């Protein structure tokens, strides 16, 4: 293979991908068999198999037990809105982030005390093992799970206060900024780091994905005078949603 030349399996996968994208192989169509790929492209069984694996890893096709490999329905990506401002109404985080479809949004949550792992302790600038309130969310759009979130708040900040449980009490369901302000903790900065990785098995099970699907992960941390007061991992299926940021110009 000369410099710059693609391996055979990538060239085969690229041609099949083009046919899927342009509609020559529409959704629910059976992908050509390994023998057919071998004959059509003049490649070995190994190359044909590897090409099919590439398409499966990209989420373009799926295997059906005892039936073969089929082109997957390609969802039209919807938008997950992230905002650099907060409305005066003190909207919940989900209503803020899903401003375009807020009326359809619902969520489930569960909070429990836990010990901060090394990674979470570093993000919150607390000693490992310190107590935190861990809250796990499943957000839904018209009943479909579309986003997961796990947040951690130091109990040194919120413990024994009315906002210790994010979804209960007088400010239950409000945003971090509003809840912290109620205990005289003024949030003045937030950071978000965006990355992507293959979804964990439990994440894909909750989100309705298949093994190998990629998720967008947003690592968010709220600060008050430089002190982290909440950090969260937000997980969104990359094949169904795009993360859109609206940032104010100052």
Judged against a pLDDT cut of 60, whether residue 88 lies above it is answered with no
Indicate the average pLDDT of the chain: 87
Domains and CATH numbers, the chain: 8-71 (1.10.10.10), 78-245 (3.40.1410.10)
Judged against a pLDDT cut of 60, whether residue 38 lies above it is answered with yes
What pLDDT band is residue 215 in, cutting at 50, 70 and 90?
A: very high
For residue 59, which of 207, 168, 187, 211 has the smallest C-alpha distance?
Answer: 211
Q: Which tops the pLDDT comparison, 242 or 103?
A: 242
Question: What pLDDT, in 10s, does the model give residues 145-166?
Answer: 999 999 999 999 999 999 999 9
- Give the mean pLDDT of 83-112: 62
Judged against a pLDDT cut of 80, whether residue 20 lies above it is answered with yes
For residue 206, give Cα distances in angstroms to 104, 158, 185, 237. Answer: 19, 29, 34, 11
Question: What spatial distance separates the first Cα and last Cα of the chain, rounded to whole Å?
Answer: 54
Question: What pLDDT, in 10s, does the model give residues 123-146?
Answer: 999 999 999 999 999 999 888 899
In this structure, what token pair is assigned to residue 104?
A: 């359809």
- Is residue 129 within 8 A of residue 121, CB to CB? The reply is yes
Judged against a pLDDT cut of 90, whether residue 213 lies above it is answered with no
Q: Which tops the pLDDT comparison, 24 or 103?
A: 24
Judged against a pLDDT cut of 70, whether residue 85 lies above it is answered with no
Residue-level pLDDT at 101: 47
What pLDDT band is residue 26 in, cutting at 50, 70 and 90?
A: very high
Question: What pLDDT, in 10s, does the model give residues 166-210?
Answer: 999 889 888 899 999 999 999 999 999 999 998 998 999 999 877
Judged against a pLDDT cut of 60, whether residue 103 lies above it is answered with no
Model pTM score:
0.75
Taking the C-alpha atoms of residue 210 and residue 99, their distance in angstroms, rounded to an integer, is 28
Residue linked to tokens 């055979």: 8
Q: Which tops the pLDDT comparison, 250 or 109?
A: 109
Residue-level pLDDT at 84: 56
Judged against a pLDDT cut of 90, whether residue 247 lies above it is answered with no
Judged against a pLDDT cut of 90, whether residue 116 lies above it is answered with yes
- Give the mean pLDDT of 42-54: 93
Judged against a pLDDT cut of 90, whether residue 72 lies above it is answered with no
- Is residue 222 within 8 A of residue 177, CB to CB? The reply is yes
Taking the C-alpha atoms of residue 186 and residue 226, their distance in angstroms, rounded to an integer, is 11
Cβ neighbour number for residue 35 with a 10 Å cutoff: 10
In whole angstroms, how large is the CA radius of gyration of the chain? Answer: 23
- Give the mean pLDDT of 8-14: 93
């Amino acid at each position: 293979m000369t410099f710059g030349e693609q391996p055979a399996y990538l060239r085969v996968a690229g041609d099949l991908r083009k046919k899927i994208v342009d509609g020559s192989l529409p959704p629910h169509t059976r992908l050509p068999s390994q023998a057919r790929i071998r004959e059509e492209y003049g490649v070995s069984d190994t190359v044909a198999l590897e090409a099919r694996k590439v398409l499966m890893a990209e989420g373009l096709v799926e295997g059906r037990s005892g039936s073969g490999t089929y082109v997957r329905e390609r969802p039209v990506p919807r938008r997950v809105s992230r905002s650099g401002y907060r409305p005066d109404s003190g909207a919940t985080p989900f209503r803020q982030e899903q401003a375009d479809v807020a009326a359809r949004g619902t969520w489930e949550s569960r909070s429990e005390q836990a010990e901060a792992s090394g990674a979470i302790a570093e993000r919150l600038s607390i000693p490992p093992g310190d107590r935190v309130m861990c809250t796990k969310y499943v957000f839904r759009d018209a009943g479909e799970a579309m986003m997961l979130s796990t947040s951690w708040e130091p109990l040194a900040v919120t413990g024994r206060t009315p906002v210790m449980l994010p979804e209960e009490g007088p400010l239950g369901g409000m945003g971090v900024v509003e809840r912290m302000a109620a205990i005289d903790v003024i949030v003045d900065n937030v950071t978000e780091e965006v990355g992507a990785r293959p979804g964990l098995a439990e994440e894909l099970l909750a989100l309705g994905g298949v093994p190998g699907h990629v998720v967008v992960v947003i690592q968010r941390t709220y600060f008050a005078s430089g002190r982290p007061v909440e950090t969260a991992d937000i997980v969104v299926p990359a094949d169904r949603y795009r993360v859109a940021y609206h940032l104010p110009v100052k």
